[in-house]
Amino acid sequence: MPAHLIVLAAGQGSRMKSELPKVLHRVGHAPLFVHALTAGETLEPETRVLVVGHGGDAVQAEAANYDPDIRIAHQTEQLGTAHAVAQACDALKGAEGDAFVLYGDTPFIRPETLSRMAAARAGGAAVVVLGFEAADPGRYGRLVVEDGTLERIVEFKDATEAERAITLCNSGVICADAATLFDLIDAVGNDNASGEYYLTDIVGIARARGLHCAAVTCPEAETMGINTRAELARAEAIFQDRRRAEAVDDGVTMTAPETVFFAYDTHLGRDAVIEPHIVFGPGVTVESDAQIRAFSHLEGCHVGARAVVGPYARLRPGAELGNDAKIGNFVEIKSAEIGEGAKVNHLSYVGDATVGAKANIGAGTVTCNYDGVFKHRTEIGERAFIGSSTMLVAPVRVGDDAMTGSGSVITNDVPDGALGLGRAKQVTKDGFAKRLMASLKAAKAKRTN
């Protein structure tokens, strides 16, 4: 059955004390709403609708970066969760299949949990609500279950003492046939303690119509919503712990996983070795058997199989390392392809460049890629040998099997197999150093007398 996601992201999040709309705050480098969407991917949704309100333009712009197909519904006034879902009605007009409502500020719902909700729908429940046993039920809505049937949800403010004693709480995640959902929402009023249109009311309305409703439960940890910076920091820690555990389970070796930081989309191949104190920014893929050595920072890059990176290396966006490549200490790579088995082992900057297979880049080499206005490319051929401390003033090409002399400033292309030398010729003066030192020492002795 086709599925559709509705992610509520209109709230202001005033407790974040931020200019940024709450759902744009990041966990693992991805905005909160992206985590909700990602959990929903397991349902292979046909439609994704993001309901935006506060900071709507900014949220819409960010959403387009992640998924150009995402539909945006505007909720200009926040009149409650049912009102928010109602704004998605146009985007889902005529849609067949189930609609899942998720909150944009609740990043940890597991895909398996949503699959269990889909299964409960397939099992005949018209409305399925995700509940959890709360350690401290606080102000959550309470699920009223009688004889295994979910009868209604009562909001804390409207609950009786007996209802407040219920510990089975509403996570906010709800699923129903799309057409049924909007039909039920049409019947929701706002005659309650908050004067809001409660999405939770659809359960009682469905029951009154003789429809079956069910609750699926999950651990409380999944339902954690972010309302404050402290909760955001806690969410980051939870996210990192989850990703570390997943990586280890998937066959990655990590000697000190608690010191490794993941992004939402970090991909580590089997038997990759990740040493301590590594930071993965967004967009990193590390292939099998590669080694990321201690204190390295990677973002927007691809590390080939068996490649070795670091210690103390920095891979910036567009770094593409071929299989068996080696990037050593204090080396920065940006927008550059490093061919198979090529080595850049020490103290170098390689940016806007192509380095051929098996090339060797000597210590202290710099691709001078920027003239102050434009960026230019450097091409280094296969098996080329770049002498230590070569300045490659781009645009420039060093051919296959070519060499440059140490300390050269290379401004012209070096053809295949040639040696490029671009440095002052050495002058040697016999005995000069000794004489100079003697005269300096004599001058010093005179001064101190």
Give the residues lining the site for ligand UD1 (CB under 6 A): 8, 10-11, 51, 53, 75, 78-81, 83-84, 103-105, 140-141, 153, 155, 169-172, 198-200, 225
Please tell me which residue in 212, 267, 346, 376 is annotated as part of the active site: 346
Task: For 293, list phi and psi in degrees, rounded to 5.
Answer: -85, 165
Judged by CB, which is closer to ligand UD1: 32, or 307? 32
In the complex, least distance from residue 398 CB atom to ligand UD1, rounded to whole angstroms? 56
| CA 253/CA 244 separation, integer angstroms | 10
Rounded-to-5 percentages of helix, strand, coil across the chain? 25, 30, 45
| CA 273/CA 287 separation, integer angstroms | 10
Amino acid sitting at position 347: L
Q: What is the DSSP string of 19-73?
A: SS-GGGSEETTEEHHHHHHHHHGGG--SEEEEEEBTBHHHHHHHHHHH-TT-EEE
| CA 193/CA 196 separation, integer angstroms | 8
In the complex, least distance from residue 217 CB atom to ligand UD1, rounded to whole angstroms? 13
Give Cα 361 distance to the centre of its chain: 32
Give which of 417, 429, 422 is closest to 385, Cα–Cα: 417
Judged by CB, which is closer to ligand UD1: 170, or 291? 170
Judged by CB, which is closer to ligand UD1: 190, or 285? 190
Judged by CB, which is closer to ligand UD1: 159, or 307? 159
| CA 230/CA 118 separation, integer angstroms | 33
In the complex, least distance from residue 115 CB atom to ligand UD1, rounded to whole angstroms? 21
Judged by CB, which is closer to ligand UD1: 138, or 431? 138
In the complex, least distance from residue 249 CB atom to ligand UD1, rounded to whole angstroms? 29
In the complex, least distance from residue 390 CB atom to ligand UD1, rounded to whole angstroms? 55
Residue 234, exposed/middle/buried by CB under 10 A (0-12, 13-18, 19+)?
A: middle
4 is a catalytic site residue: no
Residues classed as catalytic: 346
